[in-house]
Amino acid sequence: MKYLSNRKGFLGVDNKFNFREKVVIVPFGLEKTVSYGGGTKNGPKEIIKASHQVELYDEELNCEPYKKIGIKTLKPFKIDKNVKKALKKIAILNKEIINRKLFPMTLGGEHSITPGCIGPFVKKYKKICLLHFDAHADLRDSYNGNKFSHASAIRRCLDHKNVSVISFGIRNISESEIPFLKKNKSRINIFWAKDKANWNLQKFKRLIKNKTVYLTFDVDGFDSSIMPATGTPEPGGLFWDETLNIIKIAAKNSKIVGADINELAPIKGFNSYNFLVAKLVYKILTYKYLY
Edge-first strand order for the sheet with 163-170 is 71-73, 23-28, 103-108, 255-262, 212-218, 128-133, 163-170, 188-192
What's the number of domains the chain is made of? 1
Confidence grade of residue 33 (pLDDT, cut at 50, 70, 90): low
DSSP label of 32: S
Question: What is residue 232's three-state secondary structure?
Answer: coil
**Does 99 have pLDDT greater than 90?**
yes
Range of weakest confidence among 26-35, 45-54, 160-169, 270-279:
26-35
Considering the domain boundaries, does residue 9 fall inside one? no
- The CA distance from 111 to 205, in Å, is 25
Does residue 188 surpass a pLDDT of 80? Answer: yes
Residue 17 inside a domain? The answer is no
In a domain, 46, yes or no: yes
16 within a domain of the structure (yes/no) = no
Q: pTM, whole model, 2 decimals?
A: 0.96
Q: Would residue 2 count as lying in a domain?
A: no
CA gyration radius for the chain? 17
**Residue 177 is part of which domain span?**
23-290
Residue 118 belongs to some domain of the structure = yes
**12 domain residue, yes or no:** no
- Residue 151 — pLDDT band, cuts 50, 70, 90? confident
Residue 29: inside a domain: yes
User: How much is the pLDDT for 143?
Assistant: 76
State the CATH number of the domain containing residue 97. 3.40.800.10
> In angstroms, rounded to a whole number, what is the distance separating the alpha carbons of residues 251 and 26?
21
Distance CA 93, CA 185 (A): 32
CA atoms within 13 Å, Cβ hemisphere of 169: 27
pLDDT at 35 over 70: no
State the DSSP code for 118: T
